Amino acid sequence: MFVSETLMEPLDELRQAYEKFMVDEAFLAELDRDLADYVGRPSPLYHAQRLSQEAGGAQIFLKREDLNHTGAHKINNTIGQALLARRMGKTRIIAETGAGQHGVATATVAARLGLECVVYMGEVDIARQEANVYRMRMLGASVVSVTSGSRTLKDALNEAMRDWVTNVDDTFYIIGTVAGPHPYPAMVRDFQTVIGRESREQILRQAGRLPDALVACVGGGSNAIGLFHPFLNDTEVAIYGVEAAGEGLESGRHAAPLCAGKSGVLHGNRTYLMQDEDGQIIETHSVSAGLDYPGVGPEHAWLRESGRASYVAATDEEALAAFHTLTRSEGIIPALESSHAISYAMKLAAQMDPEKIILVNLSGRGDKDMHTVAALEGIAL
C-alpha cells in the first residue's frame, strides 16, 4: 500500500478488525439482518425480455441493485463498514463522494447508527448534484466543499484522507469504491460480493445454468467486482467491465484508465490511471459523475492483466441511448453509470444466439440523473 507513514498503523488496525469480524458469526448475522430488513435484499434478478428482443440476440437478465434502499449498490458497503466502525468503537464517520450516491448511502447508515458524519465533495460536484447535497444534509451529515485540484471526486478523496490522518483516533473512513489502500479494496469487494452470490443462485434457479457473460460498469469498480468475484472460478462465464469512454477514447476526454490509461500509484494503491507523461493525474470526463474517477480498483487491473475479464468502454452518447431504450422497453429508469453496462450488453447480445444469457448489474436507478438527462435535451426542470 502507498500511504504516508501516519496511516500505516491505523490501516493495520483496520485490517485486523476487518479480518476478525469477517469471520465473526454475530457480526455477519447483524450484517445479513440489515441487508435483508433495511436494504431490502435479496434484490431481484429480472429477465428483461423486451430489452432482449430489442437487442436481437442473447437473453438479458438485470440484477436489480437499483431497488436497494437509497437507490444503488453503494449501501451494501456502507452498512458493512459502518457496522465495523461501531464494533471498533469509532464515533465519527467520514466519506468522499462524487455524484453523491456514496455520500447519501453513508449519511443514511450514519443516521441509523447515530454516528457523526462528514462527507467531502468537490465544489464542482456540489453544483452538479444539489439534490443529493440536500439529502445528505437532511440526514444529518455535514457536507464539506472541496476546492482543491480539479474540485471533483479524486480531490474529495484526498481531502477525506487528510481528515482521517488528522482525526484517526475516533474516526472511521468509509471509502465508497474498491480503491484506496489495503484493506479497502478487499473489504469493499467483500461487502459487495452479495451481488454476485445472489445473482449466481438466482440465475441457477431461473435458467437452470450459469450465464454466458457478465456485464457491469466500472468507475472505481465496486459494483463490478461485487458481481464478478463469485464467478471468477466459473471459467465458462465471460466477464466484461464497461468503462466510461466519455466523448470517445481517441478524444482524450474520458474516464477509461483500463482501456486507455497506464500503470501508476494514486490513493494508496498501484493501478491503471489517467495521467500525463509527467505522472500528474489528469481530469476525467463522463456524463455520469459516478464513473468520473481517474483510477480503478487494483483487482480490476489484475483481472485485466490475467485475461480473466475484458474491459471495454461506452461513450456518453451510447450510454444515453441505452438509458432511453431500457426506460421505454422495460419501464426501468437506470442510473447513467449503469446505462454504460446496458449499452455494452445490448451490443454483445446482438452478436450472440437467443439461448445465450447475459447477466447485467443494474447498479443504480436513474432518479438522480433526471436533471442531467433533461438538460442534455434542452429541457429545464
Residues serving a catalytic function are 74, 96, 363
Nearer to other proteins, 113 or 260 (CB): 260
Furthest CA-CA distance within the chain: 56
Say whether residue 10 binds other proteins (CB under 8 A): yes
Question: Could you tell me which of 38, 2, 62 has the C-alpha nearest to residue 203?
Answer: 62
Which residues have C-beta within 8 Å of that of residue 310, sequence separation ≥ 6? 238, 239, 240, 241, 304
DSSP track, 278-336: TSPBPPP--SSGGG--S---HHHHHHHHHTSSEEEEEEHHHHHHHHHHHHHHHS--B-H
Least distance from C-beta 252 to other proteins, angstroms? 16
Q: Residues 244 to 303: which contact other proteins by CB under 8 A?
A: 264-268, 273, 275, 277-282
Say whether residue 89 binds other proteins (CB under 8 A): no
Q: What is the DSSP letter of 369?
A: G
The 116-155 contact track toward other proteins, x by CB under 8 A, reads --------------------------------xx----xx
Say whether residue 306 binds other proteins (CB under 8 A): no
Choices 44-52, 55-63, 156-164, 313-321; region in contact with other proteins by CB under 8 A: 156-164
- Written as one letter, the residue type at 90 is K
What CA–CA distance (Å, rounded) separates 270 from 1? 8
Helix (H, G, I), strand (E, B) or coil at 200: helix
Degrees (nearest 5) of the Cα angle 49, 322, 247?
Answer: 160
Nearer to other proteins, 160 or 238 (CB): 160
Which one of 4, 233, 235, 306 is in contact with other proteins (CB under 8 A)? 4
Least distance from C-beta 166 to other proteins, angstroms? 4
Least distance from C-beta 274 to other proteins, angstroms? 11
Interface residue list for other proteins (CB under 8 A): 1-10, 148-149, 154-155, 158, 161-162, 165-166, 168-169, 264-268, 273, 275, 277-282
